[in-house]
Amino acid sequence: MNDILDQSIAEVGAALRAGKTTAAALHAAAASSHEARAKSFGAYKLWDTEAGQKQARAADAAFEAGIDTGPLQGIPISVKDLYGIPGWPTFAGTPKSWPKSWECEGPVIAALRAQLGVITGKTHTVEFAFGGIGMNPHWGTPRNPWDAERHRAPGGSSSGAGVSLNAGSAMLALGTDTAGSVRIPASMTGNAGLKTSQGRWSIDCIAPLSPSLDTAGILARSVADLAIGFLAIDPLAVEEPRPTEVAGLRLGISDGLLWDDCWPGVAEGVNGALGELEKKGASLLPFPFPEVDEIYPIFQAGGLVAVELYTFVSEALPEWFDLIDPIIVQRMSEASDLPAHEYVRRRRVMDRLGAATSERLREFDVIVCPTVPNTPPALNDIAEVENYRPANLLALRNTGIVNYLGLCALTVPVALDKEGMPVGMQLIARHGQEERLLSIGLALENVLGNGRARLGTPPMVSK
């Protein structure tokens, strides 16, 4: 990876402001990494060198004029192809571009552009963001760079986001998260990822999956970079997240479902990290979590997602039904028969269980569990539907429960599993507690190290 892109956002930002580098040089390095790696990894649906160069020149001109627009000025950022960007087509993982009206600019993109962040391109997503493994039959599936021998899944639905960071073509990646679509690809590619609280960041001009659950989020190579990105984008943040003390942290550990069926090395990797934190003074405390057992059957039954997607496609894009992957059409069709009273019941149960969990969380700093129980599967192993479905459901389980309970969460890389693939540790906090969550994540990162320091370099990047 190019040396300049191997630094943190804070280090690069300082170099830009000191005149030691330029946004144009930074974008050129990102473009070089794209040509060398991101193309072969398949991270991007659209890469626009000319647009990136133009944005970089604008950032440099502002610096030269003494104008500092914010911490993301000149920083290369990849954007999931669900976000509308003026002049850039939106496919949302489907076979053809959506109507021009979906090229609008929502508040999240507006925040990046107002700071003169450099959008490098639009990364691949699962079709309609409806899947946790990362597969896309229309445009291909990005390759997880942690396995040089087999084409493994990168995690979804923000399938190109984590890969764009690994490849060195971006320093921050925008994703979305309805049931884990930021945290799963972050975990599977050895990056950090933040799922914001539902409603905290606007989802205007972002292609919807399930508006009741959809959230915008970010991926980065470290929690430190996440904290900078969060503060730059968030409209409500008033204080910069700063590392808290590890000593005295109350980490809730729940027995049961969140730790069940983990692949070899996953639970062991998370427990190893917890042991290191305990030695530094963190308290590992049992967290009673009966809500998990009640909410999981709703999640297994499709929750609200399939019916809300079916409603959206029927109303906004009815002609797309003939183009969509038959597996997704089947999942939506099954939901079309969901009675209205069952939809309402599910909403009420989710609200009740979320409130109960949030209240109990007041006595803890975060709940901790593996982010993804299974190792990133090889695509050949999940080519058939009967193999894909259980792998997809397991990948989404621990993250999806967080969305269904209305919480926010962070994943940090902590280990490699028995197959040499990254393992993420999920930190779960109450709704609206992102600043506190990131402060805890920074403290943990100071002890455990960031992904690169702890896991090393992906084999396909170090070649």
Which amino acid would we find at residue 100?
K
Quick one: which H or E segment has residue 298? helix 290-300
Backbone angles phi, psi at 256, to 5 degrees: 95, -140
Question: Under a CB-based contact definition with an 8 Å cutoff, are residues 82 and 176 in contact?
Answer: yes
Question: Under a CB-based contact definition with an 8 Å cutoff, are residues 125 and 92 in contact?
Answer: yes
CA distance 450 to 428: 19
DSSP string, 45-70: EEE-HHHHHHHHHHHHHHHHTT----
CB atoms within 10 A of CB 64: 10
Alpha carbon 278 to its chain centroid, in Å, reads 27
CA distance 362 to 82: 34
CB atoms within 10 A of CB 318: 9
CA distance 403 to 217: 13
Question: Does residue 105 sit in helix, strand or coil?
Answer: coil
Q: Which of 55, 56, 103 is nearest to 81 (CA)?
A: 103
Burial of residue 354 (number of CB atoms within 10 Å: 0-12, 13-18, 19+): buried
Question: Under a CB-based contact definition with an 8 Å cutoff, are residues 85 and 79 in contact?
Answer: yes
Name every residue whose Cβ is closer than 8 Å to that of residue 15 and which is 6 or more positions away in sequence: 4, 7, 21
Residues marked as catalytic: 80, 157, 181
Q: Which of 142, 124, 115 is nearest to 9 (CA)?
A: 115
CA distance 436 to 365: 8
CA distance 47 to 68: 26
28-58 CB burial, b ≥16 within 10 A, e <16: bbbbebbeebbeebbbbbbbbeebbbebbeb
CA distance 229 to 244: 19
Place of tokens 């076979």: 95
